[in-house]
Structure 1
Amino acid sequence: MQDAWVVLAALAIGAFLGAGFVVILIIARERGEQAQRVVNPVVPEGVDQVIAALDSAGIVLDPSNNVVRASPGALSLGLVRGLAVTNPELLRLAGLVRADGETVQEEIEVPRGPYGDASVTLLVRVARLGTRFVLLLAEDRTEAKRLDAVRRDFIANISHELKTPIASVGLLAEAVDQAADEPERVRRFASRLSEESSRLARITNEVIQLTRLQANDAVAERALLDLDEIVAVAIDQNRVLASGKRIELALRTRSKARVWGDRELLIVAVHNLVANAIAYSPEGGRIGIGTARRDGIVEISVTDQGIGIPEEDLDRVFERFYRVDQARSRHTGGTGLGLAIVKHTAEEHGGDVRAWSTLGRGSTFTIRLPEAASAADAADAGAERPRPRRTTA
């Protein structure tokens, strides 16, 4: 009987120890799972796929502000490094959402990369994601903000440019009326009226051209064009203007190249370069115009012997209404839109325009366009052409 009690006691002790061991295992497993959740937090279902598909920046933060998910856009903008958010403004917005639970939207500026003075304008929206996480979505508004500034400047500039000739026309009309009995004065005022009318027409025409170039279908219909013919027409359009200043227009070379594009737009672009060279060249000078072919690229260069352009202004001469010398530009009758039209025309045709200059010695402007592979393109003239790259400025 005593032996039976010993056996029962042993079994009870074994069961107690076994149960204790099981409890220890359960506690250890729960702690391990808790640690795993801290190391690898589980975000709500579907968020991973959304974050991965975002073009804009998306970041998910845990309660300790550790980054648990980040989209490629967030990484490319430099908003995340390792497991941390790099900008304190984003953490500030996350803190506001945690404090009151309300969604926050704010526009902020953050540095572009760890070095340099450039910045990125972000429209940031922050909201709760479940009970533990915070979701930050950031849209890069830098280009949109720049375009808004360009539009505002354009409206201000065009208003200013139109104000002077419109006011002049009104004053000259009044002067003609008052001088009705003096034929000589009437003729002089009428001549001035004609000049101001022409100036208004130029501004209006160039604004229309620039607006067309910035439309999505600026060069909807493309034809295979003889580049030498385009250059010859543009030169002929400027011969009277050049002869008035005794300037020689010298066609240096012919490329026999062909390009795909809009004939009228390309003639206007080359015309503007030649007219600009005439305007800023001294009387009796010489302007060289030439074309060349280099590795599938066609170049149209216009070189003058004029006053030249300061180096700091070279990057800005293609901006709308930008003038290196305001007083001289008004004297030459320029609108400040000619080179902007050249730039947009070149870009619409898949090319670009470049400028070189030396003060006191002259300038060279070069339009670069992709050359049409003559044999293949001539046989396939009706095929759809690839759309050129577009920029805004």
Structure 2
Amino acid sequence: MPLAEGRVLQIGIDQSEIGKDISRLIHGAILVGVLVAGLSVLVAYLVNRVIAGPILDLLAVVRRLQHREFGRRVLVRSEDEIGQLGRAFNELSETLEELFDAISDRERKLDAILSSMSDGVLAVNMQRKVILANRAVADMFNVDELSIIGKNQFEATRNTNLSKLLDDTIDSGESIVREMRVRPGSERTIAVTSSPLTNQDRTPLGAVAVLRDVTDLRHLEQMRQEFVANVSHELRTPLTSIKGFVETLLAGNLDDRALTERFLKIISGETDRMIALINDLLDLSRIESGKQPLKLGPVDIKEIFDDTIMILQSNADAKNMTVQNLIYDPVIVEGDEKLLKQVAINLVDNAIKYTPEGGTVTVEAIKSPDEVEIIVSDNGVGIPAQHLDRVFERFYRVDKGRARNMGGTGLGLAIVKHIVDKHKGSICAESRVGKGTKMRLTLRRMN
């Protein structure tokens, strides 16, 4: 440095000392840098725990919610915005859990209701794809109820009429009721009510059909119509005959004693026929309605058929027939003696009626510890196989003309069937045309 009077002051520092100072400065800077870096890492870590940690927890819980694990909650560590977000999310999770439980409960109840319904329910969307089907529908069409979801309505049911009905419902927007067969050629009949499927603002969503099996109902209606027609015919025929003979007598033929006596015998026979018909109808009505309670007690089947053969022996003698009871020992069953005697009379009387002169009717029993099978056999005209399942129906006759000429009402076997059913027994017919018929009756033995 310059001084007064031209003097110069020189200050010298050892170079090694400068190097040491610079080294100390560098080391100090490095240390400060390391401290700053460490502090930055610490601050970043703390910030990450405070901010990123809850967010990661929130993300994990969201993924759990995607798997319907609604019990998961976010741990709230602060009162700041992150904490508020966590609490809001927990509240949302609780709301979703309650909503999901409510929806699941409704679905379970709906599934239970649909599964327990005897009527089928089928719903399709606007694209004609099945969106709902219950077990009854699956049983009707012999398919799996889950496998048809998402399929085309025709592919799911293979029923052209049902598919067309759903199309008509969607196109018209109106409810339609129709009856149809489950399959072409099938006797199973279903009544289908198809209605438009809409949301709350009446936007069309598809169609829903309720299917009810009415096969038995239609069969009963047919039986009722046949019953009324048969009763009308059975009463009209003798009444017409009686009216004709009475008019003939009133026309001036009363003086001819022989003719009058002949006509009166015919009138008497037709009257007896109407009385028998009415009595059978009353018996059948009482048995079916349950108004005739069973008077259960020990009944000897051998004695029942012995008495029956004695009562009908004159009918058998008139045709030179042999009627044998091959039950030699007492066979005791539990039943109503009066009704079981009616069964025996109907079975043996039918066997005599439909067996030609010189034929044979036999009664035998096959015993087991709990029940006995009574077999009434004849070697008569027999019953064609296609008629065997219907011989126990009211007014059903294999040969209507011959049965009417023999004085039958067409109700005998129907009465037998109902009496046997009341006794919790069973009866069936076996027959070969021209070889004869066997009626097999099974009853419980008395303990």
* 1:315-330 mapped onto 2 (5 Å cutoff): 315-330=389-404
User: SS of the residue aligned with 2:394?
Assistant: coil
| TM superposition shift of 1:151 | 0.8
| Residue deviations 1:286-318 (CA, integer Å, cap 9, x gap) | 311122223533222211222223333333333
Pairing 1:300–2:374 present: yes
Pairing 1:151–2:224 present: yes
Partner of 1:76: 139
| Residue deviations 1:250-291 (CA, integer Å, cap 9, x gap) | 110146333333332221121111111111223333311122
Partners in 2 of 1:66 and 1:262 — Cα distance?
Answer: 59
Partner of 1:88: 160
Cα distance, 1:93–1:312 mapped onto 2, change above 3 Å: closer
Pairing 1:233–2:307 present: yes
Partners in 2 of 1:71 and 1:228 — Cα distance?
Answer: 54
Partners in 1 of 2:422 and 2:274 — Cα distance?
Answer: 26
Question: Residue 308 of structure 1 contacts residue 362 of structure 1 at CA under 8 Å; is this kept in 2?
Answer: yes
Greater CA deviation, 155-164 or 258-267? Answer: 258-267
Partner of 1:124: 192
User: SS of the residue aligned with 1:322?
Assistant: coil
> Aligned residues, how many?
338
Partners in 2 of 1:155 and 1:279 — Cα distance?
Answer: 26
Q: TM-score, normalised by structure 2?
A: 0.67
| TM superposition shift of 1:204 | 1.2
Question: Residue 289 of structure 1 contacts residue 301 of structure 1 at CA under 8 Å; is this kept in 2?
Answer: yes
Pairing 1:166–2:212 present: no
Aligned partner of 2:349: which letter? A
Question: Residue 122 of structure 2 contacts residue 209 of structure 2 at CA under 8 Å; is this kept in 1?
Answer: yes
Pairing 1:142–2:210 present: no
Partners in 1 of 2:285 and 2:329 — Cα distance?
Answer: 31
Cα distance, 1:120–1:282 mapped onto 2, change above 3 Å: closer
Cα distance, 1:284–1:349 mapped onto 2, change above 3 Å: same
Cα distance, 1:240–1:70 mapped onto 2, change above 3 Å: same
Partner of 1:207: 281
Partners in 1 of 2:301 and 2:123 — Cα distance?
Answer: 56
Partner of 1:281: 355
Aligned partner of 2:401: which letter? A
Partners in 2 of 1:61 and 1:218 — Cα distance?
Answer: 51
Cα distance, 1:122–1:51 mapped onto 2, change above 3 Å: same
Cα distance, 1:350–1:144 mapped onto 2, change above 3 Å: same
Cα distance, 1:136–1:336 mapped onto 2, change above 3 Å: same
Pairing 1:175–2:238 present: no
| Structure 1 stretches lacking a partner, 5+ long | 1-24, 34-41, 375-393
Partners in 2 of 1:128 and 1:260 — Cα distance?
Answer: 58
Cα distance, 1:278–1:338 mapped onto 2, change above 3 Å: same
Which of 106, 116, 120 does residue 53 from structure 1 map onto? 116
Question: Residue 177 of structure 2 contacts residue 192 of structure 2 at CA under 8 Å; is this kept in 1?
Answer: yes
Q: TM-score, normalised by structure 1?
A: 0.75
Partners in 2 of 1:371 and 1:133 — Cα distance?
Answer: 60
* 1:339-358 mapped onto 2 (5 Å cutoff): 339-358=413-432
| TM superposition shift of 1:80 | 4.8
Partners in 2 of 1:255 and 1:109 — Cα distance?
Answer: 53
| TM superposition shift of 1:149 | 0.5
Partner of 1:16: none
Percent of aligned positions that are identical: 32
Which of 367, 387, 391 does residue 441 from structure 2 map onto? 367
Cα distance, 1:148–1:255 mapped onto 2, change above 3 Å: farther
| TM superposition shift of 1:122 | 1.0
Cα distance, 1:52–1:355 mapped onto 2, change above 3 Å: closer
User: SS of the residue aligned with 1:333?
Assistant: coil
| Residue deviations 1:196-235 (CA, integer Å, cap 9, x gap) | 1111111111122222333255545544433333323322
Aligned partner of 2:180: which letter? I
Aligned partner of 1:370: which letter? R
Structure 1 or 2, whichever has the larger Rg, is 2
Cα distance, 1:303–1:137 mapped onto 2, change above 3 Å: same
| TM superposition shift of 1:138 | 0.8
Alpha-carbon RMSD across the aligned residues, in angstroms, is 3.3
Partners in 2 of 1:144 and 1:126 — Cα distance?
Answer: 20
Which of 231, 245, 260 does residue 334 from structure 2 map onto? 260
| TM superposition shift of 1:79 | 6.3
Greater CA deviation, 63-72 or 43-52? Answer: 43-52
Question: Residue 219 of structure 1 contacts residue 261 of structure 1 at CA under 8 Å; is this kept in 2?
Answer: no
Question: Residue 169 of structure 2 contacts residue 194 of structure 2 at CA under 8 Å; is this kept in 1?
Answer: yes
Partners in 2 of 1:317 and 1:174 — Cα distance?
Answer: 37
Partners in 2 of 1:314 and 1:196 — Cα distance?
Answer: 29
| Residue deviations 1:21-62 (CA, integer Å, cap 9, x gap) | xxxx9xxx9xx99xxxxxxxx998653342123122122334
Partners in 1 of 2:310 and 2:362 — Cα distance?
Answer: 14
Partners in 1 of 2:196 and 2:142 — Cα distance?
Answer: 19
Q: Which has the higher helix share?
A: 2
| TM superposition shift of 1:326 | 3.1
Aligned partner of 2:167: which letter? G
Aligned partner of 1:360: which letter? G
Partner of 1:385: none
| TM superposition shift of 1:333 | 1.7
Question: Residue 303 of structure 2 contacts residue 330 of structure 2 at CA under 8 Å; is this kept in 1?
Answer: no
| Structure 2 stretches lacking a partner, 5+ long | 1-58, 68-102, 200-204
